[in-house]
Amino acid sequence: MLFNFQLSTPKEGLVDITAEVTEAISESGVNEGICVVFCPHTTAAITINENADPDVKTDFIAGFDKSFPERAAFRHAEGNSDAHIKSSAVGASETIIVTAGRPLLGTWQGVYFCEFDGPRNRKFYVKVIGDWK
């Protein structure tokens, strides 16, 4: 089953989508399998990271800004090459194991939609494959 979610994003930042992923798995009826979370945008990404201390999200963005700054020498006319690079560095998707009808995540893990060139209206897909209950 394929699920399509929409969200409004900040200028830059990580949006917790763990609840949406969990909901899609539950609605799919899949008990044991895998779930792919996919971002169809070239200046955004999907990642799994800590969901306990909100400062991790702030530091994540600050770290990526320092590692991949926007440079005047970049040729891309839209002026957002840094966001394109961050998108590929993080990746467009995550694959998550589904067990007992739930995503298999560590105690401190959450699934995040990463915005690098917002604010925008974005979407992401969740595909769930596996054995039915």
User: Residues for the chain: how many in total?
Assistant: 133
Residue 130's beta-bridge partner residues?
33
Least Cβ distance, residue 5 to Zn ion (angstroms): 23
- The residue (of 32 and 78) whose beta carbon lies closer to Zn ion is 78
From 4-12, 31-39, 48-56, 79-87, give the range in contact with Zn ion by CB under 5 A.
79-87
Query: Based on CB atoms, which residue is closest to Zn ion, 75 or 133?
Result: 75
Tell which one of 31, 80, 99, 109 touches Zn ion (CB under 5 A): 80
Residue 78 engages Zn ion in binding (rule: CB under 5 A) = yes
The residue written with tokens 């979610």 in the block is 5
Torsion sign, CA atoms 34, 101, 123, 127: positive
Alpha carbon of residue 13 to chain centroid: 11
Read off the tokens for 56: 């991790």
* 74 binds Zn ion, rule: CB under 5 A: no
Residue ranges in contact with Zn ion by CB under 5 A = 78, 80
